[in-house]
Amino acid sequence: MEITSPAFKHEHPIPKKYTCEGEDLSPPLVFQDVPSNAKSLTLIMEDPDAPRGVFDHWIVWNLPPHLMTLAEGAQVPMEGKNSFHVDKYRGPCPPPGSPHRYVIQVYALDIQLNLPTGSSKKRVLEAMEGHILAKAVLIGKYQR
């Protein structure tokens, strides 16, 4: 399985449009080679370089497995509570200084997750246990 974005290449800067300094839209994403037996996709975007530990920016589950693209600023079925305490996308917004990495992980699952909107990343990860068919990662960077 693979995840890419037409907006930025792996390990390259994320355009300002997708950050707190721009329009704060979720970036467009492309999914390839999703296992044919997948029942759903889960997506997690996090900043592992945040000063106080991993900072969650976007938690999404129950995306259709046949989905090949997720448009810029797309509406998604189920979103979890991120580290901003909202259940929607919030883009990169690191403190001034060194660049931060933003890790976008997509998981193909053999089930749909039965969780309410606003669930924590911990609950999503627990529900995914034993159901991951494949995983792909895209990393973007941002610096203020």
User: So where are the chain's domains?
Assistant: 2-142
Q: What is the pLDDT of residue 124?
A: 98
pLDDT at residue 63 greater than cutoff 90: yes
Per the prediction, the chain carries an average pLDDT of: 98
Q: pTM for the complete prediction?
A: 0.96
Split at pLDDT 50, 70, 90, the class of 77 is confident
- Report the pLDDT averaged over residues 54-82: 96
Q: What is the pLDDT of residue 137?
A: 99
CATH no., domain 2-142: 3.90.280.10
Q: How far apart are CA 57 and CA 64, in angstroms?
A: 21
Pick from 115, 107, 8, 129: nearest CA to 63: 107
Q: What is the pLDDT of residue 15?
A: 98
